[in-house]
Amino acid sequence: MQVFKLCLKILKKNIRSLLIYIVLFLGISTIMASSASTEQNTDFSFTKSKARLAIISEESTPLTAGLQQELAKIAHLVALPDEIEALQDALYFRTVSYILRIPKGFSEKIMRGQPVKLHKTVIPNSYSNAYLDLSIDQYLNSARLYVEQIEDLSQEELVQFLQKDLAVETAVEIKTNDRQAAKQTYSQYFFNYLSYSLLSILILGLSALLLVFNNQDLQKRNACAPLSTANVNRQFVLAVLVFTVLTWLVMALLCLVFALKDGFTVNILYLLLNSFIFALCAASISYLIGTLVKSPNAIPAISNVVTLGLSFISGVFVPMELLGKQVLKFASFTPTYWYVTANNRLASLTKFNYTNLQPVFTSMLIQLGFALAFFAVALVLGKNRRLQ
């Protein structure tokens, strides 16, 4: 087992840099999971945004007073003098965002059922003003209906009818879908962040290992050894598997310690399985990078680019809900995307039947497909490199 022992010695030499990523993983995961795993409500109350409104009325009638009372429910009324300069300054300095002018003869036209046009001056592109427009239209349309249907209706009676009708409100709730409604647990976040540190450690360790074994002088010296090529390869693959499993085991145990905050559930078992499959995929990626790299100084740079890039576009550091469709479409060509997708799905499951688990198994199979593809490419490139 000379080759196996040599591999372990090389990996042991890089233990300090690997420990840095373990400590980094613990720090990031603890902070991010603590802040992001707060229980989110599945129902969100809808409240109107109050704009700052100034009303300039050229007449004083029960109908105009009723309109002002209704608008006061959804806006902050601001008293302003009827002067052009004062009104312009109020809009410029954002003292108000909406100025409504009620012209003389407004009430008389309403009571006759004639169309009425109110004059308004608003700040452009102010979304809160839309509520005011809707409320004004609702008040005028309701008043027109009463006038058309009831004869000899006084303004006082009309205002009473309108106050009664407009006092009825409907509670609006926004229902989120099942995945958004799922409680974001510690286990989900810790296992998502696991992909960053696990991939970083494997790239640093295996790339350094392959860089040594790909040295041409060492390959020639090994060719003179009494060990067959098949035996050397078996010991080398065994060392890679042992390093991968040990790395995954350490990281998974750390995840497990913190994930037990939510209790040991079936979800965690599937999360462990998913992380182990990703560890195999990360080992194949590391093997490919180690085959291509030619300088030890390039290993940390490549590791940072690969791990950070995959983490940002695949939903590790930034939730998938906040990423654009084009970004997610591009990320779907990476194994980290399918790893995070499976984790998010597993965190929301309460029933573990085949129908619910099928998307999870599909994501796992895709990760294994990536692992085989990366490993095959690495073998081809490694063979071509030896023949040169």
Last residue in a domain, options 138, 171, 204: 171
Assess whether 231 and 347 both reside in one domain: yes
Assess whether 26 and 126 both reside in one domain: no
Assess whether 368 and 298 both reside in one domain: yes
Report the CATH number that the domain containing residue 148 is assigned in CATH: 3.40.1710.10
**Four-CA torsion 303, 308, 313, 316, nearest 10 degrees:** 110
Residue 259 is predicted with a pLDDT of 64
Assess whether 245 and 104 both reside in one domain: no
* Residues in Cβ contact with 330 at an 8 Å cutoff, skipping those fewer than 6 apart: 313
Residue 335 is predicted with a pLDDT of 92
Q: How many domains does the chain have?
A: 2
Domain-embedded: residue 339: yes
Domain-embedded: residue 199: yes
Assess whether 261 and 349 both reside in one domain: yes
Domain-embedded: residue 323: yes
Task: Provide DSSP, 57-102.
Answer: ESS--HHHHHHHHHHHTTEEE----S-HHHHHHHHHTTS-SEEEEE
Residue 279 is predicted with a pLDDT of 92
Q: pLDDT tens digits for the chain (388 residues)?
A: 777 777 777 777 777 777 777 777 667 766 766 665 554 444 444 555 678 899 999 899 999 998 898 888 888 899 989 888 988 888 888 888 899 999 998 888 888 888 888 888 888 777 777 888 888 888 888 888 888 888 888 888 888 888 888 887 666 554 544 443 344 466 777 788 888 888 888 888 888 888 877 766 666 666 666 666 677 777 878 888 888 898 888 888 877 776 666 567 788 888 889 999 999 999 999 888 888 888 888 888 888 888 889 888 888 888 888 888 888 899 899 999 999 999 888 887 878 888 888 999 999 999 999 999 998 888 888 777 666 5
Do the Cβ atoms of 78 and 54 come closer than 8 Å?
A: yes
Residue 184 is predicted with a pLDDT of 47
Domain-embedded: residue 46: no
Assess whether 246 and 355 both reside in one domain: yes
Beta strands in the chain (DSSP E): 43-45, 51-57, 75-77, 98-102, 119-122, 173-175
Rounded Cα distance between 105 and 254, Å, is: 76
Residue 25 is predicted with a pLDDT of 67
Assess whether 294 and 383 both reside in one domain: yes
Domain-embedded: residue 42: no
Q: How many CA atoms lie within 13 A of 369 on its CB side?
A: 11
Do the Cβ atoms of 252 and 338 come closer than 8 Å?
A: no
Residue 42 is predicted with a pLDDT of 42
Structural domain harbouring 165: 51-171
Domain-embedded: residue 115: yes
Domain-embedded: residue 177: no
Assess whether 279 and 316 both reside in one domain: yes
**Predicted TM-score (pTM) of this structure:** 0.61
**Beta strands 98-102; 51-57: pairing state:** parallel
Assess whether 159 and 82 both reside in one domain: yes
pLDDT 10s digits, 269-282: 888 899 999 999 99
Assess whether 125 and 15 both reside in one domain: no
Assess whether 165 and 191 both reside in one domain: no
Last residue in a domain, options 171, 195, 221: 171
Domain-embedded: residue 80: yes
Last residue in a domain, options 171, 196, 223: 171
Assess whether 372 and 256 both reside in one domain: yes
